[in-house]
């Protein structure tokens, strides 16, 4: 993938294809006037920044990939921002964003924060490490991270359509600019074949859904042929940053490889557009259980109101809130990290105040490879020989009789 921004400078009239609103926007949840407003905004965005593009182009995921914006200067220009705060960004993570997600960002300061390189990425904190989760030392063969006994992480590509500035794998992603090939996957597949205890394989990267259908299908068919692999999961941010990728052909293929689950990465409620809703609907209709993964980010989603809006938006789209992660200490990420108390406060603000289905598990991925540790506000006050003291969501105190052993 080219590292050159391909933003067009001239602005001729928009083509005839853009006369009607996009069909993907026809979602019952979204009031018509909002859709119309959104459509007008998109039309202007396209006419100004991608004047040669047709609506057909816009809805084509390959066009979106080909036209990624890969320089901070171009991103800032399109967003109408001063360029100077971004010029010195020198972290190892490349910059890239799909035209679609830049359009989403053009309407959301919070989304902008997730993708724009920032000079603070050059400030390395004392506890920050390129590989904070110790994945490299738990990698027996290239592409495999084997940290838990019954499951492995299979890193199938280092490519993402859009790079998140807080990415845990900033040391890896976008470095080669190429997808891994089938030959390198064979080594990883052999490892899985040889380890009969592995019942769960999580395909990640990079973003596996940026691979062509044929390669994804090849991987899934290889994994399905391994008797002890019970489930396959895919971790992806595609529905948020490149929803056009979730084509009917892709979902028709995916549904042949059940049980297949997906973890969808979302950061902010303003990512949930009609296009994203349509992508989630296609995945859910293909019978794929969808869970969400969200990183707790300062200035993006670190308050109860925003997090509740995000979780409600996800569940409406049949995505079950799954994990809320404390931001991992990668180099130059301090401006994204909140105190742990912020995360606990958010969980406290959700529990009891909305459906249990809308509450993710707040976790810290223990530095060095200790795995996910769940955190809860202090609901258990203590215990004595009579039972357990409990605090409910309204801070009322209760006593539950528990004598510590079966009668
Ligand atoms: S989509 Fe995931 S892997 Fe890619 S940059 Fe964002 S967090 Fe990292």
Q: Do 204 and 102 share a structural domain? A: no
Write down the catalytic residue from 169, 237, 308, 337: 169
Catalytic: 164? yes
Whether pLDDT at 139 is above 90: yes
Q: What is the pLDDT of residue 407?
A: 52
Q: Which of residues 122, 144, 168 is at a domain's end?
A: 122
Question: What whole-number distance in Å separates Cα of residue 214 and Cα of residue 360?
Answer: 33
**Which of 169, 209, 245, 323 for a ligand 1 pocket mutation test, highest count of atoms within 8 Å of Cβ?**
169
Is residue 330 lining ligand 1, measured as CB closer than 6 Å? no
**Buried b or exposed e, range 332-364, using 16+ CB within 10 angstroms:** bbbbbbbeeeebebbbbbbbeebeeebbbebbb
Q: Do 85 and 205 share a structural domain? A: no
Give 307's contacts (C-beta < 8 A, 6+ positions apart). Answer: 294, 301, 324, 346, 349, 350
CA-based R_g, the chain, Å:
22
Looking at ligand 1, which residue's alpha carbon is closest to its atom 1?
237
Catalytic: 328? yes
Catalytic: 402? no
In the reported structure, the alpha carbon of residue 297 is separated from the centroid of ligand 1 by a whole-number distance in angstroms of: 14
Is residue 169 lining ligand 1, measured as CB closer than 6 Å? yes
**Which atom of ligand 1 has the smallest separation from the CA of 93?**
5
pLDDT band at residue 30 using 50, 70 and 90 as cut-offs: low
Write down the catalytic residue from 318, 372, 379, 391: 372
Catalytic: 391? no
Catalytic: 147? yes
Mean pLDDT of 328-346: 96
Q: Does 6 map to a domain?
A: no
pLDDT band at residue 288 using 50, 70 and 90 as cut-offs: very high
Q: Which of residues 74, 100, 122 is at a domain's end?
A: 122
Is residue 165 lining ligand 1, measured as CB closer than 6 Å? no
Tell me the HSE value of 39 on the side-chain side, using a 13 A CA sphere: 17
* 25 vs 273, more confident: 273
Q: Do 388 and 321 share a structural domain? A: no
pLDDT band at residue 175 using 50, 70 and 90 as cut-offs: confident
Question: What whole-number distance in Å separates Cα of residue 273 and Cα of residue 280?
Answer: 11
Q: Tell me the CATH number at 159.
A: 3.20.20.70
Q: What is the pLDDT of residue 11?
A: 27
**Residue percentage of the chain with pLDDT more than 70:** 88
Closest among 297, 313, 279 to 164, alpha carbons compared: 297
Closest among 319, 311, 316, 245 to 275, alpha carbons compared: 245
Q: Which domain holds residue 391?
A: 377-407
**Which atom of ligand 1 has the smallest separation from the CA of 170?**
8
Largest CA distance in the chain: 81
Whether pLDDT at 257 is above 60: yes
Question: What whole-number distance in Å separates Cα of residue 231 and Cα of residue 350?
Answer: 30
Q: Do 328 and 384 share a structural domain? A: no
Mean pLDDT of 265-270: 98
What are 195-223's pLDDT values in tens digits?
999 999 999 989 999 999 999 999 999 99
Q: Do 300 and 255 share a structural domain? A: yes
Q: Does 128 map to a domain?
A: no
What are 340-380's pLDDT values in tens digits?
999 999 999 999 999 999 999 999 999 888 899 999 999 99
Write down the catalytic residue from 151, 237, 308, 337: 151
Catalytic: 169? yes
Looking at ligand 1, which residue's alpha carbon is closest to its atom 5?
163
Q: Does 8 map to a domain?
A: no
Chain-centroid distance, C-alpha 162? 10
Domain count, the chain: 3
Question: What whole-number distance in Å separates Cα of residue 292 and Cα of residue 262?
Answer: 8
In the reported structure, the alpha carbon of residue 340 is separated from the centroid of ligand 1 by a whole-number distance in angstroms of: 22
Q: Does 166 map to a domain?
A: yes
């Amino acid at each position: 993938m080219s590292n050159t921004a391909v933003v067009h400078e001239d602005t001729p009239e928009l083509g005839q294809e853009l006369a009607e609103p996009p069909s993907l926007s026809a979602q019952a949840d979204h009031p018509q006037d909002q859709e119309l407003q959104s459509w007008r905004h998109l039309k202007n965005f396209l006419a100004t920044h991608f004047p040669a593009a047709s609506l057909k182009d816009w809805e084509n995921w390959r066009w979106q990939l080909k036209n990624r914006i890969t320089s901070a200067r171009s991103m800032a220009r399109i967003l109408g921002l001063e360029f100077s705060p971004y010029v010195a960004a020198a972290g190892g993570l490349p910059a890239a964003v799909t035209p679609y997600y830049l359009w989403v960002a053009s309407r959301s300061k919070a989304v902008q924060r997730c993708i724009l390189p920032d000079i603070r990425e050059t400030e390395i904190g004392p506890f920050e490490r390129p590989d904070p989760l110790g994945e490299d030392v738990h990698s027996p063969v290239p592409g495999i991270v084997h940290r838990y006994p019954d499951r492995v992480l299979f890193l199938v590509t280092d490519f993402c359509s859009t790079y998140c500035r807080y990415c845990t794998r900033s040391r890896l992603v976008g470095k080669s600019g190429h997808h891994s090939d089938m030959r390198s996957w064979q080594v990883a597949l052999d490892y899985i074949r040889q380890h009969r205890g592995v019942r769960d394989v999580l395909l990640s990267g990079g973003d596996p859904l940026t691979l062509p259908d044929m390669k994804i299908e090849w991987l899934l068919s290889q994994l399905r042929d391994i008797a002890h692999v019970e489930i396959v999961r895919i971790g992806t941010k595609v529905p948020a940053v490149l929803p056009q990728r979730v084509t009917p052909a892709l979902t028709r293929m995916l549904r042949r490889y059940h049980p297949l689950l997906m973890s969808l990465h979302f950061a902010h409620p303003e990512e949930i557009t009609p296009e994203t809703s349509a992508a989630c609907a296609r995945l859910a209709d293909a019978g794929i259980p969808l869970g969400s993964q969200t990183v707790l980010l300062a200035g993006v989603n670190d308050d109860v109101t925003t997090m509740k809006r995000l979780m409600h938006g996800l569940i409406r789209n049949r995505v079950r809130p799954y994990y809320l992660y404390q931001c991992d200490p990668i180099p130059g990420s301090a401006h994204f990290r909140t105190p742990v108390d912020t995360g606990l406060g958010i969980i406290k603000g959700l529990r009891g105040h909305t459906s249990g289905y809308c509450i993710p598990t707040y976790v810290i991925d223990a530095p060095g490879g200790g795995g996910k540790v769940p955190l809860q506000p202090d609901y258990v006050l203590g215990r004595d020989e009579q039972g357990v003291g409990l605090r409910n969501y309204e801070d009322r105190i209760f006593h539950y009789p528990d004598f510590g052993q079966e009668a």
